[in-house]
Amino acid sequence: MSSRCLPAPIPPRHTVQDGDPGAVAPVAADGARTGGAIHGGPSARRQRRPAPGLSPAGVWLLPYFDAFTVASQPRELLFPGAAWDRALSKGQAGNFPVLLVDGTVAGVWHQKKSGSKVAITVEPLTDLTTPQLRRLDEQVERIAAIQHARPTLTIGPVGVGAHA
């Protein structure tokens, strides 16, 4: 039985008190305020790292409503500069598939499948380096392989609006 089914009130999960070794304190990341860390708790003693092979470093084509895009906070760090206006829909993440470069949104993309072909258009918001373009080609090939299609890649404006 979950605590939601009990008739008793549910106590708050955390109490914030100065000097309390279990207190929650705000954490700053690149000058932006984020959730919190528990002083003296397990997260304070170990450094969190992505699981092997799951680092956001590199170039990724993330689909609509990808969990990384939707849940990452603070949004100001994930969607810097022009990405805020281009890849968010009224502040809502997930309404556009995004081009992720080294852990930040660097553009949007769209795919159109027709028969055995898939046309992928990527609109980067900054110039991509030669290694980044190679990695983008690999991502396009990966998407095409999953769909059993022949890919074409166009670098240019994406004319499709946000997903409803």
- pLDDT value at residue 50: 52
Rounded CA separation 30/58 (Å): 20
Rounded CA separation 134/136 (Å): 5
Sign of the torsion angle spanned by Cα atoms 137, 99, 153, 157: negative
- pLDDT value at residue 32: 56
pLDDT at residue 160 above 80?
Answer: yes
Q: Where are the domains of the chain?
A: 19-48, 59-155
- pLDDT value at residue 56: 74
The mean pLDDT value for 12-21 works out to 50
pLDDT at residue 11 above 70?
Answer: no
Global pTM value: 0.68
Q: What is the pLDDT of residues 37-59, one digit of tens each?
A: 444 444 433 444 555 655 678 99
Q: What is the pLDDT of residues 79-108, one digit of tens each?
A: 999 999 999 998 899 999 999 999 999 999
Calculate the average pLDDT of the chain. Answer: 80
Q: What is the pLDDT of residues 19-34, one digit of tens each?
A: 555 555 555 555 555 5
113 with 146: CB under 8 angstroms? no
Pick from 32-41, 68-77, 145-154: least confident: 32-41
Rounded CA separation 14/37 (Å): 11
